[in-house]
A and B are shown apart, each in its own frame.
Chain A
Amino acid sequence: MKTTHILLLCFFLTNFLQGQERFLTKQGYTSFFSSSPVEDIKADNNQVLSIIDTSTGAIAISILMKSFQFEKSLMQEHFNENYVESDTYPKAKFKGKIPNINGLSNSEETVTITGDLTIHGVTKNIKTQAKIIKTQDNISLKGSFPVNVADYNIEIPAVVINNIAKTIEVTFELDHKPYKK
């Protein structure tokens, strides 16, 4: 936990010296959707932190697991306590790269983002397509990708095995603004 902070801080400090190259959002949106024959489960999170360094195309995303809001409080409880164990693993993280970020036009383009996604303490390399619009004062990223629950050592008890999909669809919408301090 501490090292990631120091890394994050270094990330900021080095960028301070280089000037206006970081784009950031503190209120990005992520949701996930599980569809099963028994029920559909959806949760929203509007507190996503995402930082893009436009000099390298690096992107770093942090998500608080407890920020996911479910329709039913029981689902939220089970999600936090039994599945993602958010007291032990409070955050999900993504560290990746947007290729050729400076060669983008001002209109919508599709990019393939690769990077490491950490959920429930397990890190996996993922690859996903996203729609990107980059202008002078905004970088918007939108897309979705499937997450295989078992890949992240998340155990679903047999009783509810039919209520929760094995593959969950994660959607993201991140509107980054230039970071000024």
Chain B
Amino acid sequence: MSKKIKNIILAIILGITGIIIIVNIVYNKPHISVSEASPDITLVSQKLLNDFENNEFESNSKYLDKIIEVNGTISEINVSENKGIITLSDEGSMGGVICHLSPEEHTKIASLKKGQNIKIKGICTGYLMDVILVKCIIIN
């Protein structure tokens, strides 16, 4: 076999391996890490709720898929199996901001109390009766 053909074969093999590696990296691209990412928007929970109540369409384009840091008062703590859900809402308000905690935050729930002020970071997925944040991390 001439040297030229050998080189071509080698190049093809390297090319294919390269493509496989790239496809694999893209295919297995990890989810955004909420705990490491800095928030896109920081605001109080009531403002987030009001924005959605007033104009859901506009708020969807403003907040969806964004990492949002909210500050608010805990009105409800809900723990089941390995899910922790914290609702932030001001007194007298119909709706609230429902924060579904990341599994790694589970141990922190025991120390939380209703009425306490808290800062939580999570990804906004939309508004039903309340604004929903998922993959939440407790900041303090």
A contacts, CB < 8 Å to B: 1-2, 5, 8, 26-27, 46-47, 49, 62, 64-67, 69, 72-74, 76, 87, 90-91, 181
Q: How large is the interface on B (under 10, 10 to 19, 20 to 34, 35 or more residues)?
A: 20 to 34
Interface of A, secondary structure class, is mixed
Q: How far is the CA of A69 from the CA of B31 in the complex (A)?
A: 10
Q: How far is the CA of A113 from the CA of B27 in the complex (A)?
A: 39
Given the known A-B contacts A26-B98, A27-B78, A47-B132, are A64 and B126 also in contact in the complex, defined by CB atoms under 8 Å?
yes
Chain A residue numbers with a CB within 8 Å of B134 are 47, 67, 69
> Counting CB contacts under 8 A, is B85 at the interface?
yes
A70 to chain B, nearest CB (A): 9
Interface of B, secondary structure class, is mixed
User: B125 near A64 (CB under 8 angstroms)?
Assistant: yes
Given the known A-B contacts A26-B130, A47-B125, A90-B126, are A66 and B28 also in contact in the complex, defined by CB atoms under 8 Å?
no
User: B29 near A72 (CB under 8 angstroms)?
Assistant: yes
> In the complex, which residue of chain B has the Cβ closest to the Cβ of A181?
B94
Chain B residue numbers with a CB within 8 Å of A67 are 125-126, 132, 134
B contacts, CB < 8 Å to A: 26-32, 56-57, 60-61, 64-65, 78, 83, 85, 94, 98, 100, 125-126, 128-130, 132, 134
User: A91 near B126 (CB under 8 angstroms)?
Assistant: yes
User: B32 near A47 (CB under 8 angstroms)?
Assistant: no
> In the complex, which residue of chain A has the Cβ closest to the Cβ of B126?
A64
> In the complex, which residue of chain B has the Cβ closest to the Cβ of A68?
B125
A68 to chain B, nearest CB (A): 9
